[in-house]
């Protein structure tokens, strides 16, 4: 595979590795109040911002040579999805026709996606037709802006994944025991490399009850787990290769969990075996905590983390209405307009729906005390996005059995 990863851009020192590690480092091992640290040195911010610009410049230069661009995501991250949309818009400005591949939808449910793209189905209808809650489950509000954009731009949508029932059968029986006819005619995957196997072993252990099964049973269960992941990788790669054969002029841009391409394993490895070599795997360049202005179009100006049913304030933008109302980093957000919140996505929708000039009531917990704050949101600029907030990154692994 050609070196189309963002780290092929000459950058000072080990910065690309640092950028990838920072969100997870922020998410692990520290209480929310401790994460609200002092702003980093200006030099750190400048290097990170330069790396983000370098990735954009690299993609502009490489896009015409690419066959597939994988846009990695943490499925619950609003910031990742906003970056994916901005990257799609950037690629579209280059003039090359695009197609948008979706890990989120099994290939057998392509029909409703195509009808949505052609305007025959509404958003609610397409979500119901593909049975979004059962096949994916993550908040559709995180994905709908991308689907709307594709429909407006007449960009075809390509369903890529394997039906959950097929994945579960392989998880129970192993790949060799499930004939190709019962696994959507998906071929034999290229074997997982050692680094990929180790990452999958870590994910497998996270899904296991304690204590683990006896040694031989555990080893067999791990192999079935790896088989189920390889089936999904291979299925998505075969569908991308088929889309390339149907229309080689289009650049295939794919929304894909990071676990499916890290280390050029997963989908990129399967694509290589299928002869698709010119593949770029990108992720959102994360700025160190405290760097950069709030995103354009935000109304509240608070950046949130959500985990285990709790929403925390990570950062408050200077000069924002959140700062004026007294919201602070480390506050726990309990309710918006007296309705309890447990996920950042709920706050995004409620902030977006609040009429301009009408006080928005927030209930928070700070150092064991419950407080009520009121904020008055400014009008949202025409065409701007809803409030974008950053949830805690979560490990992205195979579908649970």
User: Given the structure tokens 């911010």, which residue do they identify?
Assistant: 45
d(CA 307, CA 232): 27
Q: Is 9 part of any domain?
A: no
The pLDDT of residue 364 is: 94
Same domain, 232 and 98: yes
- What domain count does the chain have? 2
Q: Which of 233, 258, 276 is the last residue of a domain?
A: 276
pLDDT tens over the chain, length 401 residues: 433 444 333 323 332 322 232 232 222 232 333 333 344 455 677 787 888 889 999 999 999 999 999 999 988 888 889 899 999 999 999 999 999 999 999 999 999 999 999 999 999 999 999 999 999 988 899 999 999 999 999 999 999 999 999 999 999 999 999 998 999 999 999 999 999 999 998 888 877 766 666 778 888 999 999 999 999 999 999 999 999 999 999 999 999 998 899 888 999 999 999 999 999 999 988 777 556 555 545 678 777 777 777 888 877 776 778 888 899 888 899 999 999 998 887 887 888 788 877 889 999 999 889 999 998 887 765 444 433 333 322 223 222 22
CA angle 345, 336, 300 (to 5 degrees): 70
SS3 184: coil
Same domain, 103 and 212: yes
Looking at residue 90, the DSSP 8-state letter turns out to be: H
Same domain, 167 and 254: yes
- The residues, any chain, with a CB within 8 Å of residue 11's CB and separated by 6 or more, are 50, 51, 54
d(CA 167, CA 175): 10
CATH of the domain at 307: 2.30.42.10
CA 145 to chain centre: 13
Class of residue 35 by CB neighbours under 10 A (exposed 0-12, middle 13-18, buried 19+)? buried
SS3 253: strand
d(CA 303, CA 388): 8
Q: What's the pTM value of the predicted model, to 2 decimals? A: 0.67
The pLDDT of residue 362 is: 94
């Amino acid at each position: 595979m050609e070196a189309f990863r963002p780290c092929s851009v000459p950058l000072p020192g080990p910065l690309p590795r640092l950028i990838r590690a920072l969100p997870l480092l922020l998410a692990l091992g520290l209480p929310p109040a401790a994460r609200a640290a002092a702003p980093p040195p200006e030099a750190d911010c400048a290097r990170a911002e330069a790396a983000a610009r370098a990735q954009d410049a690299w993609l502009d230069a490489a896009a015409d040579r690419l066959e597939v661009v994988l846009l990695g995501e943490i499925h619950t991250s609003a910031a990742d999805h906003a970056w994916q949309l901005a990257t799609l818009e950037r690629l579209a400005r280059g003039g090359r026709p695009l197609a948008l591949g979706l890990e989120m939808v099994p290939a057998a449910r392509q029909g409703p996606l195509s009808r949505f793209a052609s305007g025959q189905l509404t958003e609610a209808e397409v979500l119901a037709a593909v049975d979004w809650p059962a096949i994916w489950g993550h908040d559709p509000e995180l994905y709908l802006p991308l689907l709307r954009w594709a429909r407006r731009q007449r960009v075809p949508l390509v369903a890529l994944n394997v039906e959950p029932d097929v994945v579960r059968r392989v998880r129970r029986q192993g790949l060799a025991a499930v004939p190709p006819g019962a696994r959507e005619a998906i071929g034999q995957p290229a074997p997982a490399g050692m680094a990929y196997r180790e990452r999958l072993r870590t994910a497998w252990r996270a899904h296991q009850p304690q204590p683990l099964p006896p040694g031989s049973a555990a080893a067999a269960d791990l192999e079935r787990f790896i088989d189920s992941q390889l089936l999904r990788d291979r299925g998505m790669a075969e569908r991308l290769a088929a889309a390339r054969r149907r229309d080689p002029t289009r650049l295939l841009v794919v929304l894909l969990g990071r676990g499916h391409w890290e280390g050029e394993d997963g989908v990129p490895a399967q694509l290589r075996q299928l002869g698709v070599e010119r593949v770029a795997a990108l992720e959102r360049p994360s700025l160190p905590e405290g760097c950069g202005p709030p995103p354009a179009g935000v109304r509240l100006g608070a950046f949130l983390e959500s985990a285990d049913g709790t929403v925390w304030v990570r950062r408050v933008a200077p000069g924002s209405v959140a700062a004026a109302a007294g919201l602070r980093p480390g506050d726990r957000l309990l309710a918006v307009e007296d309705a309890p919140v447990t996920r950042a996505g709920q706050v995004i929708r409620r902030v977006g729906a609040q009429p301009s000039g009408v006080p928005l009531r927030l209930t928070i917990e700070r150092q064991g005390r419950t407080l009520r704050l009121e904020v008055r949101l400014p009008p949202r600029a025409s065409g701007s996005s809803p409030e974008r907030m950053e949830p805690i990154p979560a490990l992205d692994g195979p579908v649970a059995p």
